[in-house]
Amino acid sequence: MSINRAGATLVDVPRGLAGVVVTDTEIGDVRGSEGFYHYRQYSAVELAQTRSFEEVWQLLVHGELPDAERGAAFAAETASLRRLPDEVRAALPAIAAASRVSGPLAGMRTALSLLGAARGFRPVYDIGADRRRADTVAACAAVPTLLTALYRLGQGLEPVEPREDLSYAANYLYMLTGVEPDPLRVRAIEHYLISTIDHGFNASTFTARVIASTGADVAACLVGAVGALSGPLHGGAPSRALDTLDAIGTPDRIDGWIRERVLAGDRIMGFGHAIYRTEDPRSRMLRDLARTFGGPRVDFAIEVERHVEAILAELKPGRELHTNVEFYAGVVMELCGLPREMFTPTFAAGRVVGWSANILEQAEDSKIIRPVARYVGPEPAVRVPAMR
């Protein structure tokens, strides 16, 4: 602790704000030492296994699980918001062309801004709770349509119009592929989407809340969150975990490949987590999902997991390093027919609901988030030197 020149008290905190409590929340919590996390008062994994995406969405933004009647009404409301305003639809080809290299997630930053303008989103500071909630629901409903349209346009394909008779997960797969998906794949993707809706104050969620604390509109908050998610240290690992499986190739190469990387100090993508010191419960659930598909890819992933954990325990004793959500997420999404460039966008299609819940909660607090930095540069000069 120290005092700056203005007389303000500076409190030393860990790098990256690790372990620093910045606010209170009723949305959920991650208990890393227990290998458990929850949304509101419910186990997130149990919700993924027993409830629909729309029901969990309603829990996050309304604070309670719906009964059958209210659940059906909310599902119908969100389905009716999937179609994009004409101004947004007309702009998507240009956005897709401009983001052809960077991908659909980069394009969605622009598309979300346009959607907010076209829908008339206003600063959360200036509107009431009901309008804020309506804006988040409209944005979340449109995200799968934006992502799939940008992907298909980038592939030289026409976008597929959303269907109101399909669930959120089924409609997402339908718009991506143009084919009505089978129930096994729908439920697998729905499991994944629900299990990744929220996960504490991660970088993208915190970014959304910082922007919301300024009173900005919902689209601005979500665009900031997408920007944070795009970083490879946050949302870019599912496809990289599959790249690891591809690089290893065959079971006989596992041990040598992993040892070489660990001894070189390289990170093994899909292993380790900033919070969990036990097995990531999302990874455990997704591994079970992968087993329902079966096949050599799943068997190989399980064998790699077993070898990696054994080698890490040997070479890094005392450290708990297990698979995180990205390792089996990549396997499950591949089994469901998703291209790798859509892995992180699919994560965003679920996490957008968690971001929205956090935006709504933060909007109830009128205090702007405004930390300080300790200046460690050269001492300021008495006057600016004259130009020579």
Assigned domain for 180 exists = yes
Residue 72 and residue 98 in one domain: yes
Q: What is the CATH number of the domain that holds 310?
A: 1.10.230.10
Q: What is the CATH number of the domain that holds 92?
A: 1.10.580.10
Assigned domain for 135 exists = yes
Q: Per-residue pLDDT averaged across 72-81, rounded?
A: 97
What is the overall mean pLDDT for the chain? 90
Residue 260 and residue 213 in one domain: no
pLDDT digits (tens, 9 = 90+) for 13-52: 888 887 788 889 999 998 877 778 999 999 999 999 999 9
Query: What is the model's pLDDT at position 35?
Result: 75
Point out the catalytic residue in the list 190, 191, 199, 273.
273
Q: Per-residue pLDDT averaged across 290-310, rounded?
A: 91
Assigned domain for 290 exists = yes
Residue 67 and residue 188 in one domain: yes
Residue 195 and residue 62 in one domain: yes
Query: What is the model's pLDDT at position 312?
Result: 81
Query: What is the model's pLDDT at position 268?
Result: 76
Residue 270 and residue 215 in one domain: no
* DSSP track, 31-71: ETTTTEEEETTEEHHHHHHHS-HHHHHHHHHHSS---HHHH
Pick 129 or 327 by higher pLDDT: 129
Write out the two tokens for 115.
């959607």
Q: Per-residue pLDDT averaged across 170-191, rounded?
A: 96
Pick 264 or 175 by higher pLDDT: 175
Query: What is the model's pLDDT at position 374?
Result: 84
Residue 128 and residue 258 in one domain: no
Assigned domain for 356 exists = yes
Assigned domain for 24 exists = no
pLDDT band at 375 (very low <50, low <70, confident <90, very high): confident
Residue 213 and residue 268 in one domain: no
Reply yes or no on whether 190 is catalytic.
Answer: no
Reply yes or no on whether 199 is catalytic.
Answer: no
Give the whole-angstrom CA distance, residue 383 versus residue 106: 44
Query: What is the model's pLDDT at position 191?
Result: 95
Which residues, other chains included, contact 297 with Cβ-Cβ below 8 Å and sequence gap of 6+? 245, 331, 334, 335
| Domains contained in the chain, number | 2
Range of the domain at 279: 237-335
Give the whole-angstrom CA distance, residue 280 versus residue 272: 9
pLDDT band at 175 (very low <50, low <70, confident <90, very high): very high
Q: What percentage of the chain reaches a pLDDT higher than 90?
A: 66
Assigned domain for 221 exists = yes
Assigned domain for 201 exists = yes
Assigned domain for 168 exists = yes
pLDDT digits (tens, 9 = 90+) for 90-137: 999 999 999 999 999 999 999 999 999 999 999 999 999 999 999 999
Point out the catalytic residue in the list 54, 326, 334, 361.
326
